[in-house]
Amino acid sequence: GENVEQHPSTLSVQEGDSAVIKCTYSDSASNYFPWYKQELGKRPQLIIDIRSNVGEKKDQRIAVTLNKTAKHFSLHITETQPEDSAVYFCAASNSGGSNYKLTFGKGTLLTVNP
């Protein structure tokens, strides 16, 4: 089955700096890669996703890149703000397949220091 590795497990940056979180996946059939943000005591929320026919996707200060050959994808947050502090999870799935599940990385605790 799919295995998703996520690094780093913790990341501390100064406000205004950029943050990068990286994930690798094992199943070459995976074609859908969402990212979730979970603030303390709250539910995970989808912040951005990318599909395998696209190499990069941006939404304001957030961008995700995908390298299918290397089987890795990354989340980039620019101009970080204290409200970006949260745990971020990457995930992968074969959206056309029959396993009907997202496999998640173990998460990255991002702390943005004012």
Q: Which stretch binds other proteins (CB under 8 A): 19-27, 66-74, 76-84, 87-95?
A: 87-95
Q: Which of 42, 56, 82, 113 binds other proteins (CB under 8 A)?
A: 42
Residue 61 vs 106, nearer CB to other proteins: 106
Q: Is 43 in the site for other proteins (CB under 8 A)?
A: yes
- Assess contact for 21 and 74: CB atoms under 8 A: yes
Q: Is 102 in the site for other proteins (CB under 8 A)?
A: yes
Q: Is 103 in the site for other proteins (CB under 8 A)?
A: yes
Inter-CA distances, 33 with 16, 22, 23, 45, Å: 26, 12, 10, 14
Q: Is 32 in the site for other proteins (CB under 8 A)?
A: yes
- Give yes or no for a cis peptide into 82 (omega within 30° of 0): no
Q: Is 99 in the site for other proteins (CB under 8 A)?
A: yes
Backbone angles phi, psi at 48, to 5 degrees: -170, 155
Nearest to 109 by CA among 31, 6, 24: 6
* Chain residues that interact with other proteins, rule: CB under 8 A: 32, 34, 36, 42-46, 49, 51, 89, 93-107
